[in-house]
Amino acid sequence: MGKRIFVGNLPFSATDAQLSELFAKHGEVSSAEIVKDKYTDRSRGFGFVEMASNEEAAAAISALSGHEMDGRALTVNEARARTDNGGRRGGGRNFGGGNRW
């Protein structure tokens, strides 16, 4: 089973294909996806890559952490499991707080 990698500080012009190509130099890429804003379809500046093996993922993380892509130093590390925080975060101006009256 492969390992999922978080890639942050991506240039907004980066594509899924470019991300896959960058990581393919370090092993077999199962998938590469840049996260996009659901309203504007514009990159949010981060994405995820899944490598075929844990060893290839470790090699890619060590080789590409801090690597510059279009003048931006990439943040590359093992992706953490997604937590379910119940959706909305609450707090602030009449949202999720107690009564103000």
Closest CA to 8 of 35, 38, 37, 39: 35
Give the CATH class of 3-78.
alpha beta
- Domain locations in the chain as residue ranges: 3-78
pLDDT digits (tens, 9 = 90+) for 57-81: 999 999 999 999 999 999 999 999 8
The residue type at 69: M
DSSP 74: P
pTM: predicted TM-score of the whole model, two decimal places:
0.79
pLDDT digits (tens, 9 = 90+) for 44-61: 999 999 999 999 999 999
